Amino acid sequence: MLEQAIQYQRLGYDVCLLKPQTKRLAFKQGLRPFVQSELRYWFRRRRFNLGILLGDVVVIDVDDDSVIDWVQEHGLDNTPMIAASPRGMHFYHQVQEPIRTQIKYLKLPLDIKATGYIVAPPSELDSGVTYTWLEGPVPKEQLPVVKIPKNSPDLVPTTSHENSEGWSGQVTQEGQIQNPRAYCLTIPSIQGQNGSKALMRCCYICLSNGMTPSETFEFLFREWNPLQAVPEWSEKEIRHALESALKNLLR
């Protein structure tokens, strides 16, 4: 696993460490790339799964074979770097400008993941399923620039406050939080200490400062939850809190 992590770095990718047999970040210091000396230090002491950081790298995460024809029709499979995931396939691309993560894009069983990280081969989950390369990996500069399907809602640059979900963040010029992600990462959610209020607070902060519902869920579930929640919230619980916050904001 260490050799694979170093290979990714040499190919131009930023790497993070995940808890063994999970998709969760290994440490509570936040999402960040690990340098080679850190990788060598930690792999001498325990096992980890690997993640590749996203941003200029974007992954089309296909969860069901029923959408493969659509992916091929729009050329999203045209990449030299493809991984098999437990539920489908990951198609790696790059972007010239930052874009938003979109879950269930166009209500299809696929996600466009552009923030946070993606679990990378040869990571293994507790089910025994292993992520594997079908093609690649290749140097980052060889990844194709993703092309958005025609007649479909565009992926909106992260500088915008509105996207294809029809969500426009309730942003005010006065008192706006410039970096809601960083702000939320300072808010703990501890059972027995108003933990549910902390979760709802983070939902409101994200939604009220320009983040879409999809972005908010992806951030809270993937980044904030493993770092600040004790115990971690389930996917269902976070979705429920997000839906409640949305209803209150849209009244």
Asked whether residue 197 carries a pLDDT value surpassing 60, the answer given is yes
Using pLDDT thresholds of 50, 70 and 90, give the confidence band for residue 171.
very low
Instruction: Give the pLDDT confidence score for residue 173 in this predicted structure.
Output: 34
- pLDDT tens-digit readout, 231-246: 889 999 999 999 988 8
Mean pLDDT over 57-81 rounds to 88
Asked whether residue 215 carries a pLDDT value surpassing 60, the answer given is yes
Instruction: Give the pLDDT confidence score for residue 107 in this predicted structure.
Output: 79
Start-end of CATH 3.30.2250 domains in the chain:
2-142
Instruction: Give the pLDDT confidence score for residue 149 in this predicted structure.
Output: 62
Listed as own residue / partner, the contacts of 64-69 with beta carbons closer than 8 Å and 24 or more positions apart are: 64/88, 64/109, 64/110, 66/109, 67/108, 67/109, 67/110
Mean pLDDT over 102-125 rounds to 86
Mode of pairing for the β-strands spanning 57-62 and 110-113: antiparallel
Using pLDDT thresholds of 50, 70 and 90, give the confidence band for residue 104.
confident
Model-level pTM?
Answer: 0.63
What percentage of the chain reaches a pLDDT higher than 70?
A: 87
Using pLDDT thresholds of 50, 70 and 90, give the confidence band for residue 170.
very low
Is residue 232 within 8 A of residue 224, CB to CB? The reply is no
Q: What is the CATH number of domain 2-142?
A: 3.30.2250
Asked whether residue 206 carries a pLDDT value surpassing 70, the answer given is yes
Task: Pick the more confident residue, 194 or 82.
Answer: 82
What percentage of the chain reaches a pLDDT higher than 90?
A: 39
Mode of pairing for the β-strands spanning 89-94 and 57-62: antiparallel
Task: Pick the more confident residue, 4 or 106.
Answer: 4
Using pLDDT thresholds of 50, 70 and 90, give the confidence band for residue 102.
confident
Nearest-angstrom CA–CA distance, 26 and 17: 6
Asked whether residue 177 carries a pLDDT value surpassing 80, the answer given is no
Mean pLDDT over 149-171 rounds to 38
Using pLDDT thresholds of 50, 70 and 90, give the confidence band for residue 42.
very high
